[in-house]
Amino acid sequence: MTDIQTWPLNIDFTIAVQNPHLCFADPDLKQSSTSKNSRGRVLLWSGNFATVYKLTKGNRSWAVRCFTRIPQSDVQQRYRLISEYLSQHQIPYLVDFEFLTQGILVKGEWYPILKMDWVEGSELDRYIGEYIDDSQVLLRLDRQLKQLQKDLQQVGIAHGDLQHGNIMVDDQGELKLVDYDGMYVPALRGTPPLEVGHPNYQPPMRSPKDFGDQLDEFSFEVISLSLRALASQPNLWETFHEDNKNLIFRQNDFQEPELSPVFQSIASIPDDETRELCDRLIRRCHGKDQPEPSTQPFQKVKLVVTQSKKFLFWGATIFAIVGLMFWLVKKIPSPPQPVATNTPTNSPTPTPTNSPTPTNSPTPVAVTTPKLTPITATTLQAKYAEGQRDFRYVQLTGTQGDRLQGQDFSNINLSGSVLERVDLRQVIFRNANLNGIKIVKVDLRGADLSNSNLVDANLAFSNLTEANLSQANLLRANLFQAKLGSALLQKAELMKANLSEVDLSSSNLKGANLVLTNLRKANLVKANLSESNLSAANLSDAVLDDADLSLADLRSAELHLTNLSNANLSSANLTAAKLILIEFAGTNLNGANFRNAIVENVGSIEAADFTNALNLAPKIRTYFCSLASGNVAETGISTKSTLNCLP
């Protein structure tokens, strides 16, 4: 497999596809033309894992998906199994595709591609935006999606990443699904998925273990509720929709549905079906959705009973007779029968031989989520002192007089628990298991959470000023508007975490993993981010005055309206980063790598240092030179000189 350092960038694929007869081995693609816009530029669509190009030959078009990172080793086998299964079931919503190992030639090397039939039409969000004021169109779309869901379930498959960009409405108004990277078919049972889906359409607790035929249920309900709500209140579109990101829901809404303005707006809609769907989705957000047993027999009985008083009378009579028979049977001694609730947790539950094997899907996981057990601070302290460490799924609500400040709870297991209004200043949670914990109005200033696990934890609005989170695992944690000033987060795992509007001023994030992290509007003044990985992170509207980003990896990062004044970006990797409407005044960019960076509307580069900047495109250098004055950087050399601007 090709080394990741040499894997092509988007620009490399874009250059290659301009000559189909040279870069493709597939006969159809070799004879095709690459679609371009009116200005002669290649049309492309970029996602998390691939860039898509449109190739046309006569009246036939294909979508060519070029992988933007090294695919997993079994990706070809996965697509073969998916293709074989789909060929046995004619599903009108899916399109033909072919995985080509020798797909595209880039710089003398072959890379795999996915060749897929092109769908002429609109992505779901754009279609909704076009018909936002036509409630009948939106409701018809909802009915179509319900039928799509039913048809997929009938053949035992799941798309795995249902979202606005993967649902197309074609020219005939029919639905088509694209992007099958995360698709589940029975032949893939027991294997992990390639991806876990768009976070704005997935349940908060979804993990790679959730991979089965019921994988799409949450996503379908998100889309269905969005459509029904918009049909009643089209103004929700303008309020909550973000172009190419969502319909009306965001990941934060699922993490705190009771505080979500979207859910609150929908709750006021005077439609029983919409409110029922809203309540069900909220339960799913909390992992409390329990599949109802088949309601069809009940509905039939209900219809019969309500037909007339005569049927009601006989129904009551039969009920009384059955009750009497049950009482008589209870009088007859019988051997004790096993009760499900008394079955040991490590004993397998017998399964009828004619029952289908359960699939590894989110629904069973949600059903088995334990209820919270109330516990007091005093009891927690006493049991911990006695040697107990397992306090999973407890509810601890602080009261006046609690004394937990500064206590040592190292190695404690509080996963899935809720802590509310507790004073935990200087508390020690070193090496603790806090996965999925929810912390509400808790003071954690100066707490020691080093090496602790906080996967999927909800710490929104928490006060963690000067806390120690070194090497903590905060994967997908929600830290929205949390206070982390002067906190220690060296080598912390923060991938896909929500750090939007968080205060990280003067914090130490050296070597932290912040891949795909949301740092929008974050305060990172004087923060230490040296050697950190910020690939594909969102730093829009963030403030990084005097921050240290030396040797940081900012590949494909989003820096829009970001303030980098006086920041240190020496030897930082800005490959393919978007630098739009940013401030570079006094910034140290010595040795920074600008390969394929997008630079637009820079506010100021006064006294910035571009010495030894790498891969600075001629157009960008010329643009920077037009902004530079004679002001000198800290090195004592003028910005123009560091850019080697022509006199």
- DSSP codes, 339-402: -GGGS-TTSPPP--TTSPPPPB-HHHHHHTPPPPEEE-HHHHHHHHHTT--B-TTEEEE--TT-
Q: How far apart are CA 205 and CA 455, in angstroms?
A: 10
Report pLDDT digits (tens) over 541-564. 999 999 999 999 999 899 999 999
Q: Which of 387, 391, 340 is nearest to 368 (CA)?
A: 340
For 485, residues 6+ apart whose C-beta sits below 8 A from its C-beta are 465, 466, 503, 504, 505, 506, 507
Asked if 471 and 453 count as a contact pair (C-beta separation under 8 A), the reply is no
Question: What separation, in Å, do the N-terminal and C-terminal C-alpha atoms of the chain show?
Answer: 47
Report pLDDT digits (tens) over 107-126. 999 999 999 999 888 999 99
Kindly list the distances between the CA atom of residue 514 and the CA atoms of 34, 216, 552, 559, in Å, as whole numbers in the listed order. 36, 28, 10, 14
Judge whether residue 15 has pLDDT over 60: yes
Kindly list the distances between the CA atom of residue 191 and the CA atoms of 183, 187, 220, in Å, as whole numbers in the listed order. 12, 9, 23
User: pLDDT band for position 289 (50/70/90)?
Assistant: low
Q: How far apart are CA 522 and CA 499, in angstroms?
A: 7
Asked if 424 and 446 count as a contact pair (C-beta separation under 8 A), the reply is no
Q: Which of 192, 210, 213 is nearest to 356 (CA)?
A: 213
Q: Which of 61, 247, 44 is nearest to 145 (CA)?
A: 247
Judge whether residue 54 has pLDDT over 90: yes
The strand pair at 373-375 and 394-397 is best described as parallel
Q: How far apart are CA 1 and CA 326, in angstroms?
A: 69
pLDDT at 634 (0 to 100): 61
pLDDT at 220 (0 to 100): 95
The residue ranges of DSSP E strands in 392-536, in sequence order, are: 394-397, 418-420, 438-440
Q: How far apart are CA 558 and CA 550, in angstroms?
A: 17
Sign of the torsion angle spanned by Cα atoms 462, 468, 472, 475: positive
Asked if 198 and 181 count as a contact pair (C-beta separation under 8 A), the reply is no
Q: Which two tokens stand for residue 33?
A: 């033309």
The strand pair at 558-560 and 578-580 is best described as parallel
pLDDT > 70 fraction of the chain, expressed in percent and rounded: 85
What's the rounded mean pLDDT across residues 228-244?
A: 91
Q: How far apart are CA 492 and CA 383, in angstroms?
A: 30
pLDDT at 630 (0 to 100): 64
Report pLDDT digits (tens) over 470-509. 999 999 999 999 999 999 999 999 999 999 999 999 999 9
DSSP H/E element including 110: strand 109-117
DSSP H/E element including 282: helix 272-285
Query: Which residue would you say has higher pLDDT here, 333 or 513?
Result: 513
User: pLDDT band for position 338 (50/70/90)?
Assistant: very low
Judge whether residue 332 has pLDDT over 60: no
Judge whether residue 16 has pLDDT over 90: yes
Say which residue the tokens 């992992």 belong to.
Answer: 287
Q: How far apart are CA 157 and CA 70, in angstroms?
A: 26
pLDDT at 48 (0 to 100): 64
Asked if 549 and 543 count as a contact pair (C-beta separation under 8 A), the reply is no
What's the rounded mean pLDDT across residues 441-468?
A: 92
Judge whether residue 300 has pLDDT over 60: no
User: pLDDT band for position 421 (50/70/90)?
Assistant: confident
For 622, residues 6+ apart whose C-beta sits below 8 A from its C-beta are none
User: pLDDT band for position 312 (50/70/90)?
Assistant: very low
Q: Which two tokens stand for residue 153?
A: 């379930």
CA angle, residues 638, 643, 647, in degrees to nearest 5: 80
Q: How far apart are CA 260 and CA 286, in angstroms?
A: 13
Query: Which residue would you say has higher pLDDT here, 36 or 171?
Result: 36
For 587, residues 6+ apart whose C-beta sits below 8 A from its C-beta are 564, 565, 566, 567, 568, 569, 605, 608, 609
Report pLDDT digits (tens) over 604-642. 898 899 999 999 999 999 999 988 876 665 666 888 889
Query: Do the domains 121-285 and 4-117 match in fold?
Result: no
- One-letter-per-residue 3-state SS of 143-187: HHHHHHHHHHHHCCCECCCCCHHHEEEECCCCEEECCCCCCECHH
For the chain, the structural domain boundaries read: 4-117, 121-285
DSSP H/E element including 578: strand 578-580
Under DSSP, the state recorded for 310 is: H
Judge whether residue 190 has pLDDT over 90: no
The strand pair at 97-106 and 109-117 is best described as antiparallel
Please list, residue by residue across 312-332, b when 16 or more beta carbons sit within 10 angstroms of its beta carbon and e when fewer do: eeeeeeeeeeeeeeeeeeeee
Asked if 241 and 265 count as a contact pair (C-beta separation under 8 A), the reply is no
User: Residue 28, class by beta-carbon neighbours within 10 Å (0-12 exposed, 13-18 middle, 19+ buried)?
Assistant: middle
What one-letter code names the amino acid at 9? Answer: L
pLDDT at 46 (0 to 100): 76
Partners of 97 in the beta sheet? Answer: 116
> What is the architecture, at CATH level 2, of domain 4-117?
2-Layer Sandwich (3.30)
pLDDT at 197 (0 to 100): 84
Indicate whether this model's pTM tops 0.85: no
User: pLDDT band for position 339 (50/70/90)?
Assistant: very low
pLDDT at 307 (0 to 100): 39
User: Which of 4-8, 181-185, 599-603 is predicted with the least confidence, judged by mean pLDDT?
Assistant: 4-8
What's the rounded mean pLDDT across residues 344-355?
A: 35
Judge whether residue 364 has pLDDT over 70: no
| Fold category of 121-285 in CATH | Transferase(Phosphotransferase); domain 1 (1.10.510)
pLDDT at 466 (0 to 100): 95
